[in-house]
Amino acid sequence: MNTQQLALVFPGQGSQKVGMLAELGESFSSIKATFAEASDALGYDMWDLIQNGEQAQLNLTETTQPVLLTASVAVWRLWCEQGGIKPALLAGHSLGEFSALVCAGALEFADAVRLVRARGQFMQTAVPVGEGAMAAVLGLDDAQIVRICAEAAQGAGVVEAVNFNSPGQVVIAGQVAAVDRAIELLKAAGAKRAMPLPVSAPFHTSLMRPAGEKLALALADISLKAPLIPVVHNVHGKTESDPAVIKTLLVEQIYSAVKWVGCVETMVAAGIETTIECGPGKVLSGLNKRINKSLNCFNIESPDSLAAALESVS
């Protein structure tokens, strides 16, 4: 396969699970070595946590974010070690954008692990637990959902469309009363499903602006370089080479919608024919296939899926 036809993508929150990457960790020493690096940066045994810990602990956003970033970077390093070809583009969903920037050589791994733990803390404390909610909406077009959210927000509080994941699949978020109101209106408008998600904060809404301000301060102390492989950013679905602009996009991303459909369309327009998802689960592979049926989508989370992904590009 031509390098220009390949993109690697990195998952966001929701893909974490106890026991993830266990087989890869037993088969390839570099997986555990990457987790050991992250453990040194954070001061606890991350591999033990993901293999033997509680799912509830993994689901705390300040834990989830460094765990998933480390898993993605570990798989990326394994891909390179096993002779996988260099991709033309990288992209990540929300948190996954930080994973992409590490793999692109723009952000040091240890800095990123500490940064996303702080990001998780900032996001969790921006809105008190119990005051925010998110919901997945299936079966309506984007414009309808945006309009209904605006209607629901009248008098009920903040509710916004925050993840444009694939055609007919959008996530909304905001204050509990406003999200509940939007769910009622969306169902009345013909949504196939409008269901609350088990998350602890209204991510990617304007309510996250205080978290963005704190992240900006944290980023000020971190060195960011121009990516060696272009990264497609969630905020606008384009690549960016200027480190100062990338920092701004990472701040804006916290309180802006994730335009995943736009990211994938940009990759396809650039000639990408195959995407490989690095890390646990197949969430992005499923979304990518729904966005563009012609894409070949693979994921790497086990020795067998690694072999299939390597074979796909040979």
Residue 94 bears catalytic tag: yes
Active-site option among 15, 94, 166, 256: 94
**What torsion, rounded to 10 degrees, do the Cα atoms 30, 31, 33, 37 define?**
130
Residue 236 bears catalytic tag: no
Q: Which two three-digit tokens encode residue 307? A: 């072999």
List 134's β-bridge partners, or say none. 173
Measure CA 91 to chain center.
Answer: 9
Rounded Cα–Cα distance for residues 87 and 269 (Å)? 15
Active-site option among 204, 233, 256, 285: 204
Q: Which residues are catalytic?
A: 94, 204
